[in-house]
Amino acid sequence: MRICRYNEDKFGLIKGDQLIDVTIALDDIPQQRWPRPHGDAMIADLESIRVGIEQNRKMGYVQGVNNVVLKSPVANPSKIIAAPANYAKHVAEAQDDAGINFGREIKTIDDYGLFLKANSALAGPGEGITLGHTDRRNDHEIELAMVIGRTAKNVAYDDALDIVAGYAIGLDITVRGVEDRSLRKSLDSYAVLGPWMTTADEIDDPDDLDFRLTVNGEVRQDSNTKNLIFDCRKLIEYASRFYTLYPGDILMTGTPEGVGPIEPGDRVVCQMDVIGKMELDVR
Ligand code: MN
């Protein structure tokens, strides 16, 4: 199942290039008073919403998916976790490029651990990327993003994929420089998630997905998640030893080689096995 958020908080089911309005299925989400629990209520309630989607997909308004503004499929993550330096060839290019390393030694994920991007950076492809600090280098980083499905702590490696609700394409947009990652990677719209969430039952092996990113038609990044240094299970195991994970938490798994600058006016197209194609504009 592919589910999306679009236009003004509408909820949709994707079938091929068609989008079916299943917003009514969100009526199954229990009303919550302050203080609301951590996490995204749609993801937390996904199994009952799934029943509602099946019941309503025959009556919802149908339109082409290209006719809507796609938002991030997760609205309210408690956090956006991201992995630095998680592909060997990206580590190598970062070591070789002063425009990435700024004179610092590039270490590996064993040294860096993970980092957080601000939730306010989250955007959908229909909103595009609005660059800040355009006097500096702003890079694209395409990554497989996992959406956590339930509250979990100290998850064992072998059980890790059981807590994943779904997968999406992530863009970890980055201002290059010397400041902490959490600052440089957290400008508004610098965490793109989309084009929708493909539920976990449709992806047998998240550690074997081909993906690529083009800018204005030029292939910049082209890899497979089998090249991850910390694979998907290990990332969840590792993250959950530090953070309690909540429904809707997003875990961006790291980017392969080929990162490079984007400029206002650029058109970015991402493609990932099973998930599909995500297109967005840079402003
Ligand atoms: Mn990244």
CA distance 255 to 258: 9
The CA 43 to ligand 1 mean position distance, Å, reads 24
**Mapping DSSP to helix (H, G, I), strand (E, B) and coil, where does residue 142 land?**
strand
Q: Ligand 1 center to residue 141 CA distance, Å? A: 6
The pTM for the full model equals 0.97
CA–centroid distance, 58 to ligand 1, in Å, is 39
229 and 88 Cβ atoms separated by less than 8 Å? yes
Distances (CA, A) of 110 to 83, 161, 234: 10, 21, 12
Q: pLDDT confidence of 108, banded at 50, 70, 90?
A: confident
Nearest in space to 232 (alpha carbons), one of 106, 152, 143, 118: 143
Q: How far is the CA of 52 from the centre of ligand 1 (A)?
A: 35
Distance 64 CA to ligand 1 centre (A): 31
Ligand 1 center to residue 83 CA distance, Å? Answer: 6
The tokens for 245 are: 């994970």
Is residue 57 scored above 80 in pLDDT? no
Question: Over the stretch 143-196, which tens digit does the pLDDT of each residue have?
Answer: 999 999 999 999 999 999 999 999 999 999 999 999 999 999 999 999 999 999
Structure tokens at 266: 């650029």
Evaluate the CA torsion angle 60, 66, 72, 75 in order and state its sign: negative
Q: Are 10 and 73 in contact (CB under 8 A)?
A: no
Per-residue HEC secondary structure of 11-27 comes to: EEEEECCEEEECHHHHH
